[in-house]
Structure 1
Amino acid sequence: MIKLHSETFGQGAPVVLVHGWAMHSGIWRDFAKALARHCRVTCIDLPGHGRSEKISPFTLEQISLALVNSLPEQPCGWLGWSLGATIVLDIAERFPERVNSLVLLAGNPLFVQTETWPGMEAHLLDAFADGLNDNCQATLLRFLALQVKGLTDYKVILKELRESVFGCDMPDSQVLQSGLDILKHSDLRPALAKLKCPVSVILGGKDALIPVAIGRQLPLLNAGCEVNIIDKAGHVPFLSHQQEVLAIVSRFLGQG
């Protein structure tokens, strides 16, 4: 069985944090330790990221299977950020017995914009994919800058992002390309519509990747889906607005 690296903090109800594209679990550390005052928090590296072994192919099905197999067999809360939100939605669909609740942080069940759904323009994802072939590190730095675009303290948050991301070796280009493919081609709206567990969505009003307009669409898919908007946050609200996110998550989990 594939070995995935994880860290666990605190005691109480279990919550698993799943990071985003090109990242690793270290991005959560300060947030996780703060959340661990209320519950038992596990931060896990996706396959091929951070200190986790690679899988092939890097697909939603394989990622979800690897994650649930690497954790104790008990239902828990899952919090996914960005690509991580796509992954936890997939886990909730495939393994509903392992999911008590979902928090989708700066995530979108359909990441790419269509005529009827707000999302990221496909050509921007294609540009990142092309950039990985030319200069992987420069492409990652552009991606990090996009995540803090429009924030008043973007320099501070960008520095924190850079230091965290490059605290581990970067995933290889094939893993990164496969991650972009998941974002470009996955449509988890049917999965969200069928979910029976509680769902909380946290969006940033200044997010350059996830249009805040999806906040009006999600409850139409699933009436049990609550939407929280942090007006001045971008794509990394757990860094820029940690206390607001902690308050929302701890309340939602019934611990606040």
Structure 2
Amino acid sequence: MSALLHVECSGQGPDVVLLHGWGLHGGVWEALATFLARRARVHVVDLPGHGRSPPIAGDWSQWVAALARAIPRGAIVCGWSLGGQLGLALAGAYPEHIAALVLVSTSPRFVAGADWAHGIAGETLRQFRAQLAADPEAALDRFLVLTSRKAAHPRLSLARLRAVLDARPRAAAETLAAGLGFLMDNDLRPLLPRVRVPVQVIHADPDAIVPAQAGAWLASALAQARLALVPGGGHAPFFTDPQACAAVIEPFIGQVHAQTQRRALSHR
């Protein structure tokens, strides 16, 4: 599908695209992709500069445009954290590409502010950015520690995440800095009224990076959204408990596919 971004496909059925989060690569989806491939055509993307995808020089809109070129039209896009923000941006800028969204551990805004209580303190993120500039490997490992912290088995989750990270080429410091900059700058709340597709929000409770309240707020702010909470999943519930997430996502895929088929028949 794309001469630029690395995409791996498996299964047959409705198109489902998986977009990973900051610093990782598509391999983090392996367990969930295996479940979903039982009823869907699963497209696992390495984001620009991550894993086997080359970097893209440019801003947020160019990342979004590259994804729009890489994915099939009419896909269900499932994004984790930064990948969820990219899914929202795709639905806003390229609505013809998106049949539905699954947003895992996603917040429309990562930085806390006077009108947003469900984020990370700006000073904390600035300190993390300084650590990233000084020692990218240490900063990335700190992120993995935080991702695993509230999981049911944090040490096991951390060891597995480290192994996944090492399975493909790591993102360069410049790519990590660009992704962190997106997370620090993005406020997608004004975009949400333009997202008119069905949305399944999945959030772990607790989550050491994005609080569950952010997921609840997101589900309430979107016109066709519903929320599922996964207990004890940490920041990556699809990784720590792929079976529980698949049990939420698979029926959603079936419902969206049935709706799409009914619309197609009505237009004949």
Larger deviation, residues 37-46 vs 107-116: 107-116
* Correspondence for 1:247: 247
Match of 2:259 in 1: none
Deviation per CA, 1:49-104: give whole Å up to 9, x if none. 111111111x22101111111234x2110000010011111111110000000011
Give the structure 1 partner of residue 25 of structure 2: 24
Q: Which amino acid aligns with 2:60?
A: L
Could you tell me how far 1:2 is from its partner in structure 2?
Answer: 5.8
- Matching residue's letter, 2:130: D
Matched, 1:82 2:91: no
TM-score by length of 1: 0.94
SS in 1 for 2:175: helix
TM score, norm. by length of structure 2? 0.90
User: Could you tell me which residue of structure 2 aligns to residue 230 of structure 1?
Assistant: 230
SS at match of 2:212: coil
1:162 is the counterpart of 2:162: yes
Aligned to 1:96: 95
- Aligned residues of 1:9 and 1:42 also touching (Cα < 8 A): yes
Matched, 1:145 2:121: no
Q: Distance in 2 between the 1:134 and 1:181 partners?
A: 16
| Structure 2 runs not aligned, ≥5 long | 257-268
> Residue type of the partner of 2:55?
K
Tell me: CA distance 1:101–1:212, structure 2 relative to 1, closer, same or farther (3 Å): same
Q: Which has the higher helix share?
A: 2
- CA separation in 1, counterparts of 2:214 and 2:48? 29
Cα drift, residue 255 of structure 1: 6.3
Mapping of residues 157-236 of structure 1, within 5 Å? 157-236=157-236
| Cα shift readout 1:80-132 (whole Å, capped 9, x = no counterpart) | 00100111111111100000000110010111112232112222222221111
Q: Among the aligned pairs, what percent are the same residue? A: 36
Q: Distance in 1 between the 2:9 and 2:3 partners?
A: 19
The amino acid across from 1:26 in the alignment is G
Write the deviation string for residues 9-52 of structure 1: whole angstroms up to 9, x where unpaired: 10000000000001111111121111101111000111111111
The match for 1:111 is 110
Measure the CA separation in 1 of the matches of 2:12 and 2:221: 34
Report if aligned partners of 1:60, 1:90 keep a CA contact under 8 Å in 2. Answer: no
Is the aligned partner of 1:51 residue 2:52?
A: yes
SS of the residue 1:100 aligns to? strand
- Counterpart residue type for residue 30 of structure 1: A
Q: C-alpha distance in 2, partners of 1:2/1:187?
A: 30
The question of whether the paired residues in 2 share the 8 Å contact of 1:50 and 1:169 is answered with yes
SS at match of 2:254: coil
Secondary structure of the residue aligned to 2:200 is strand
Q: Is 104-113 or 221-230 further displaced after alignment?
A: 221-230
Do the aligned residues in 2 keep the contact of 1:2 with 1:66 (CA within 8 Å)?
no
Separation in 1, partners of 2:151, 2:66? 35
- Structure 1 142/134 Cα, relative in aligned 2: closer, same or farther at 3 Å? same
Q: Deviations over 1:188-240 (max 9, x none)?
A: 11222221100111111010111111244224422321111112221010111
SS where residue 254 of structure 1 aligns? helix
After superposition, residues 5-16 of structure 1 pair within 5 angstroms as 5-16=6-17
